[in-house]
Structure 1
Amino acid sequence: MSDEKTLFERIIDREVPADIVYETDTTLVFRDINPQAATHVLVVPKTRYRDVAELAAADPGLLAEVVGSAATVAEREGLGDGYRVVFNTGADAGQTVFHVHAHVLGGEQLGHFGRYHR
């Protein structure tokens, strides 16, 4: 892993501004600058792991905290009718920042995703 800070580490360290909506000792949640739904926030662990697979193998408790923060923010944002939590893993899946993060999307009817059609 590169020693250079990721964008998310710079946000965690408050070097880059972000619209922070929730924070715990282990996670930071902020609004996505390119929202794909009415509500679109990112849940980032403060400890850097490349992707969700690496996080799950190294620290399953922290992964649970990331998902717990996603649920807390969904409730606070009024997403009781439904929301989606997405982890993109790898460039082919659309991951552009290689510091694991969960996308929480909701606030509107979300369509099906992917290219598989029956």
Structure 2
Amino acid sequence: MSDCIFCKIAAGQIPARKVYEDDAVVAFHDINPAADVHFLLIPKQHVDSLAHCTAEDEAMLGRLLLLAPKLAAEQGLAAGFKTGINTGRGGGQEVFHLHVHVYGNR
């Protein structure tokens, strides 16, 4: 989507403090952190929200969730961390591109 800020970050059009990137996923620090460590994992492919995922997105969802503990440990959260996926306006989603919050205190 041309007006999606996360699509622009994934495409490298908007700078971000990246934690990780591969061919399908980008992880970057949240610009308004809720904890000492707070980063987001997003698929490069645009999906509005978790509610818009289908069985075809199973591998992508698994990839996001399996990266979370690895990246959390690399960011100093080996002792534990929280994850969150806000879904829809009623669920507190502000950017309508699927993203997983990973956060915790050192």
User: Please, what TM-score do these two structures have when normalized by structure 2?
Assistant: 0.92
- Of 65, 68, 71 in structure 2, the residue corresponding to residue 67 of structure 1 is 65
1:77 corresponding residue in structure 2: 75
Whether contact under 8 Å (1:55, 1:62) holds in the other structure is no
Q: Percent identity?
A: 37
What 5-or-longer segments of structure 1 have no aligned partner? Answer: 109-118
2:42 corresponding residue in structure 1: 44
Question: Considering only CA atoms, is the larger Rg found in Structure 1 or Structure 2?
Answer: 1
Alignment size in residue pairs: 106
Q: Which amino acid aligns with 1:19?
A: R
Cα drift, residue 56 of structure 1: 4.8
2:9 corresponding residue in structure 1: 11
CA distance in 2, matches of 1:73, 1:56: 25
Please provide the CA RMSD for this pair: 1.4
Cα drift, residue 52 of structure 1: 1.4
User: Please, what TM-score do these two structures have when normalized by structure 1?
Assistant: 0.83
Q: Which amino acid aligns with 1:15?
A: Q
